[in-house]
Amino acid sequence: MLRIVVLISGRGSNMEALIRARAAGDLPADIVAVISNRADAAGLATAAASGIATAVVPHGAFSDRAAFDAELARAIDAFRPGLVVLAGFMRILTPAFVTHYAGRLMNIHPSLLPAFPGLRTHERALEAGCKVHGATVHFVTADLDHGPIIAQAAVPVRPGEDAAQLAKRVLALEHVVYPRAVAWFARGELVVENGVVRVTDPAARQLVMA
């Protein structure tokens, strides 16, 4: 069974969606640990309540990114994961860290990449007058919020809605698309060719809301 370590920085609602999918039998994997860079991340209590091991590696305790990432990797590797899932983990990772987990490090980002990497994605999508917006699950490379795209979920932007309303609708789709993408990985259904991901399950669909 695939062993998954989830990294969070806060609320952890995507982590919760993975836990729910596992409990529902939709995710053939074990979530063996949840690790945060913040001791006050609300998601840590949720994970613990589900009987999942938790750990904190506080980024402020390290002199530089390399030292933090080295300790983070040590904490992760103690759980021997086959996949590391970033779920609202708000730290820029060093190339050494990303290389260490090449092909087994996934992220979800709240935009239709390659549009809007970085922060304030919903505000920026509205400012740009986007007519559709969404979220992307991707393998992590050394470029921030880039890497081979595994899954995307799209919603139409409603006239007059604000960033908070749009974020809420995108987040609801994140909770569907991330467990689905992780399940594809767990079932060995993702093939990366020339930086492009192919899902081998012929029934696999991307998520587009009308």
How far is residue 199's CA from residue 196's CA, in Å, rounded to a whole number? 10
CB of residue 98 to ligand GAR, shortest distance in Å:
14
C-alpha Rg value of the chain to the nearest Å: 17
Q: Are 145 and 113 in contact (CB under 8 A)?
A: yes
Q: Does 12 bind ligand GAR (CB under 6 A)?
A: yes
Please select the residue that binds ligand GAR; options are 171, 172, 176, 207, rule is CB under 6 A: 171
Segment lying near ligand GAR (by CB under 6 A), choices 5-13, 21-29, 157-165, 194-202: 5-13
Q: Are 104 and 82 in contact (CB under 8 A)?
A: yes
Q: Is 122 among the catalytic positions?
A: no
How far is residue 180's CA from residue 199's CA, in Å, rounded to a whole number? 11
x-marked contacts with ligand GAR along 130-159 as a string, rule CB under 6 A: -----x---------x--------------
Segment lying near ligand GAR (by CB under 6 A), choices 32-40, 108-116, 125-133, 147-155: 108-116
Q: Are 32 and 3 in contact (CB under 8 A)?
A: yes
Q: So which residues are the catalytic ones?
A: 109
